[in-house]
Structure 1
Amino acid sequence: MLGKLALPAKRCYSRCTVFFVCVYVFYTAVIQALTMRFPTAFATLRQHHQRLWRGAMLSLCLLALLNLHPSKQYTLDEVLERGQLRVIGVAGPTTFLPHGDAGVRGLQYELLRQLADELNMSLVIEQAPNADAVISALKAGEADIGITGLVNDDPRLAKLLLSHPYLETRLQLIKHRQHTVSDEAKIAVSANSAEAQTVLHQQYGSVVEIRHATPDTLLSELNAGEVDYTVLTDSEFAARRMSFPDLTIKTELNNAQLSWAIRPRDKTLQRVANRFLDTATKDGTLKRLTAFYSQGNTFNSFGVMTFQKDIQQRLPLYQTQFKKQADKHDMDWRLLAAIAYQESKWDVAAVSPTGVTGIMMLTKSTAKEMGIANRNNPQQSILAGSAYYQRMIDKIPATVHEPDRTWMALAAYNMGYRHVLKARELTARYGDDPDKWLDVSRHLRQLPRSGQALVYVQEVRRYYDALLLEGNRHHWMASLDKKWVVAE
């Protein structure tokens, strides 16, 4: 366990105190015995005995104070004793998102869940409205690790510790496709940020600094024509461009890195985080998670325009049915809509080369199994598709928790449950975790048609996030309220 790497602070200081007392008692006894036996030889030493005694007592007092108030460099034991790794971050597509009523998904959630598992404790995530709130919470000792979304050279991070980078990224200058740029271009950035310094240094225009800005805030300002440009990392813009189809990249700026922020002076926790991230980098875990939660080429310029058009013209025709059937199976209607979009792009007349048809693209056998007569009828198709997905969910063992349960059910929906079962068996055989999608997906590649299923799961996840973004552009969860999410 990583937690065993650090000796608990109170235990350390207590042992030092006991050792010092024993040495002092032994020393005093020896001095008294020798003075009585050889009074002349030890006369000088006896004269200094009172001074040595006062020094010893002062040292004991200092050790006692340290025992009551351990150094902040050894606060990892506080985390271990608490049994919870407390994380605060800004919710979003590059960090963590709500998944169902109480679940969480996302790159940072997956990484931090693994770190908490290795420390043998639960993970507690608190959402914050912006990066400044994350920084304040860390400085106040209200959280152990912070997900700020700020690049490492941001001046606001100066008094915090940083982990090794978990992502290499680039800053991009973003513009509106149709707006004319004024002679004195205005560039929106977060106040006191590295982006503000970059823009000033490269002289792209006048800087408009917005306090407590989030990526959604900056993109909204640009989209509304309030400014001419904004600056974001490539990962943040890629994750949001499906909701801002008229925005595009003007130019690439400088390279940047993203890291976890750690409360001040907690160097032990910093070392543990660094070792974990180093291992995740070496064994490929970080690369696989980053790839799974990336946007890929799904929302290129054409994909963005098509998706927005379909949201406006096609989704309203079937949204009521998605909600009705999702409520029946206690699932998020946007997940059901995302499955349908991956299947047919919400086209009731869609037909695949293999003969599956309808908005949920059901085979004849599946339609019959689900008890519907006309798979081209959107209402019947959505009813059968949602029931079939629920059947896959029910087959996944109870030991598989969210969001892994969803990803495995989606793979089963696409290629059949027996293939997912086989992949789980292979995963266990090779010593990996059959309850984690990241491990199961690696072994799924050994099976026929696995490539199609893996792409399917990732695409549904991307559409699901995009639909969630449409209704939560300015706050992903109830971000103005403190709401703890506990992942055991």
Structure 2
Amino acid sequence: MRAVIIRLCCTLIPLFMFAGCSNGDRLAAIEERGELWVVSRNSPTTYYLDKNGAAGFEYDLAERFAEHLGVELKMQPAFSLDALFNRLRRGEADIAAAGLSLTALRGDEFSHSLPYATLTPIVIYKTGSYRPADLAELAEAPLLVLRDSSHAEALRALKVSGFPDLQWQEVEEADSMELLEKVDSGEAPFALVDSNEFRVQQSLYPRLATAFDLGNEQQMVWYLPAGSSSERLREAVDEFFSALQESGELARIRERHFGHAAVLSRIGSHTFARNMQSTLPRYEAMIRDVAEEYQLDWHLLAAIAYQESHWDPKATSPTGVRGMMMLTRPTAREMGVKDRTDPIQSLRGGARYLKDIRRRLPEDIAEPDRTWLALAAYNIGMAHLEDARVLTERQGGDPDLWSDVMERLPLLQKRQYYRTTRYGYARGREAVSYVQNIRHYYSILQWQASPVDQLSPPQQAAIYLPPALRGAILKSL
């Protein structure tokens, strides 16, 4: 009986806090309590904990909106879509920010914001197995979808409208990684997921691929409780998204979270996964020690070393660069490296060189852009990076933002542009690929090595790794 009373009180307290404030106006209630309650799916593409605390695309947006309102953000992780929407129904959350698409049923039940992104539903299969070309070829095999998802809603409509033999299985999870895991392990032949989520997670499942798109692009929105009480809050959200869109900040946030995704082929991702298990453990302690010595994130140093040499201390290129960090003779000499094939010397030389580049960048460049720009200079040279920053400023971009400079680096290969620069031609497109690859490896290493003691709640991103990677969790963290 006591447990029932406690559960009842936990349910009613949020309702009393809302109903007793501000004549039922939700925005006024938020301002009075000084907190914005946001419920989100616990997933790598929305909201999770990493070693630095809360992270994720939806978390970043929610945090900015809370700052816009001048209140504290209180995130609520949901482990199923049903639980997420029930929070809204009961008034326990002000907003559901969870990478949710706009559907007719949801639009009838809840208030919603203007769209802030788009996604495409896609059918995923395992390469080497049967690849369906369209829905008609799915009749004999069940399709996995998340329960209460927009995909389940769409499949029900399709079954009525022309595909009576269509079968699917709804899974009670909040994240598509569980579906991808089942297809990857052979438990299910197909899964229906959102394109943005698969793009981010594809490197973890290099054997999976897109069979076909299911329908057109869908709009992503935030959902709010229904009724006139949410009207002013909805208007505030719409104004917030409109301002982010017009300023270009929304595109920069998207790039920060998804810009590194899907830059590798399936073969490249599979090779990286294999090397994390077979090669990295031999050098992990060394990489950690050097990173600590030079005050760098060891995941970043490991990602750079993999991009340079696949963690091979004897690597040599046709141009004469050598070692784990693939240093040129002049750079090695400048950094005090006597033997480029000695992994500890090579790592120290590369770390020292990266630190020196970061120090030479203008002081007002903030992280993480400072690191991405430094990596570009590590690859292409400070002089050519500065040319790209000048081009960026000429074209109205921000030379201190990687997302803006990244667009101009390839222009250094076009005569009409490089002839106007101080240092001339450079292979700018390669520099972009270099940085994006490192960002991708860095992200995977961070997820894979995340501490288990932060699992609850919300869940730690590392647990979403497939067994092949989960079994290689890095030691001594």
TM over 0.5: yes
| Match of residue 45, structure 2, among 70, 83, 94 | 94
Which SS does the other structure have where 1:266 is aligned? Answer: helix
| Partner residue of 1:339 out of 291, 304, 317 | 304
Question: What is the match of residue 152 of structure 1?
Answer: 102
Residue of 115, 119, 124 corresponding to 1:174:
124
Residue from 198, 211, 215 that aligns with 1:237:
198
State the match for 2:289 in structure 1.
324
**If you compute each CA radius of gyration, which structure gives the higher value, 1 or 2?**
1
Return closer, same or farther for 1:345/1:94 CA change in 2, 3 Å cut-off: same
Shift of 1:374: 1.4
Counterpart residue type for residue 27 of structure 2: L
Partner of 1:461: 439
The answer to whether structure 1 residue 251 and structure 2 residue 212 are counterparts is yes
Matched, 1:190 2:154: no
Aligned-partner residue type, residue 468 of structure 1 = Q
2:179 is matched with 218
SS at match of 2:215: strand
Which of 307, 313, 316 does residue 272 from structure 2 map onto?
A: 307
RMSD over aligned CA atoms reads: 4.2
CA contact (8 A) 1:129 1:480 kept: no
CA–CA distance in 1 between the matches of 2:36 and 2:429?
A: 36
Match of 2:325, SS?
A: coil
Which of 22, 30, 51 aligns to 1:70? It is 22
Indicate if the aligned counterparts of 2:26 and 2:94 stay in contact, CA closer than 8 A: no
2-side partners of 1:291 and 1:118: how far apart? 21
CA distance in 2, matches of 1:469, 1:167: 24
CA distance, structure 2, for counterparts of residue 225 and residue 236 of structure 1: 20
> 1:40-95 CA distances to partner (integer Å, 9 max, x unpaired)?
xxxxxxxxxxxxxxxxxxxxxxxxxx9964244x4324444566555443354433
Residue 349 of structure 2: aligned partner: 384
Separation (CA, whole Å) in 2 of partners of 1:432 and 1:477: 42
Question: Judging changes above 3 Å, is the alpha-carbon distance between structure 1 residues 325 and 250 closer, same or farther for their aligned structure 2 residues?
Answer: same
Counterpart of 1:70, as a letter, is S
Of stretches 390-399 and 405-414 in structure 1, the one that deviates more from structure 2 is 390-399
How far apart in 2 are the matches of 1:421 and 1:100? 33
Q: 1:337: Cα distance to partner? A: 1.7
Distance apart, 1:284 and its partner CA: 4.1
Structure 1 counterpart of 2:112: 162
Match of 2:417 in 1: none
Task: Report the TM-score, using the length of structure 1 for normalisation.
Answer: 0.69
Q: Say if 1:176 and 1:223, in contact at 8 Å, map to a contact too.
A: yes
Cα distance in structure 1, aligned partners of 2:250 and 2:447: 24
Percent identity reads 33
Secondary structure of the structure 1 residue equivalent to 2:233: helix
Look up the SS of the partner of 2:120 in the other structure. strand
- Aligned-residue offset at 1:152: 1.8
CA distance in 1, matches of 2:310, 2:21: 61
Deviation at 1:237, TM superposition (A): 1.1
Letter in 1 for 2:95: I
Offset at residue 231 of structure 1 (A): 0.6
- Whether the 8 Å contact between 2:299 and 2:442 is mirrored in structure 1 is yes
Change (3 A) 1:363 1:285: same
Rate the CA distance shift 1:159–1:199 in 2: closer, same or farther, 3 A: closer
Q: Are the structure 2 counterparts of residues 212 and 109 from structure 1 closer, same or farther at C-alpha, using a change threshold of 3 Å?
A: closer
Matched with 1:361 is 326
Q: Any idea what SS the aligned residue of 1:89 has?
A: strand
Question: How far apart, CA to CA, are the structure 1 residues paired with 2:70 and 2:394?
Answer: 24
Q: Does 1:372 align with 2:337?
A: yes
Aligned length in residues? 415
Q: By how many angstroms is 1:390 displaced?
A: 4.1
Q: Specify which structure has the bigger relative contact order, considering alpha-carbon pairs within 8 angstroms and separated by 6 or more residues.
A: 1
Pick closer, same or farther for the CA change 1:397–1:138 going to 2, 3 Å: farther
What TM-score, normalized to structure 2? 0.70
Cα deviation code 1:251-299 (max 9, x no counterpart): 2112222122334442222222222323433454434543452356523
Change in 2 beyond 3 A, CA 1:414/1:135: farther
Whether contact under 8 Å (2:49, 2:454) holds in the other structure is: no
Report how far residue 229 of structure 1 moved: 1.2
Separation (CA, whole Å) in 1 of partners of 2:385 and 2:33:
37
- Matched residues in 1 for 2:123 and 2:100: separation? 16
Unaligned runs of at least 5 residues, structure 1: 1-65
Q: Distance in 1 between matches of 2:261 and 2:313?
A: 27
Residues of 2 paired with 1:86 and 1:403: CA distance? Answer: 27
Is 2:241 aligned against 1:277?
A: yes
| Contact in 2 for aligned 1:163/1:273 (Cα 8 Å) | yes
Deviates more, 1:134-143 or 1:220-229: 134-143
Q: Give the C-alpha shift of residue 218 in structure 1.
A: 0.9
- Distance in 2 (alpha carbons) for counterparts of 1:101 and 1:287: 23
1:134–1:147: 8 Å Cα contact kept in structure 2? no
| 2:168 pairs with 1:207 | yes
Gaps of 5+ in 2: 1-17, 132-137, 413-420, 461-477
Instruction: Identify the range of structure 1 (326-335 vs 113-122) with the bigger mean alpha-carbon deviation.
Output: 113-122
More deviation in 114-123 or 424-433?
A: 424-433
Change (3 A) 1:482 1:208: closer
Once the two structures are superposed, residues 303-326 of structure 1 have per-residue CA deviations (whole angstroms, 9 ceiling, x without a partner) of 333333433443333333223333
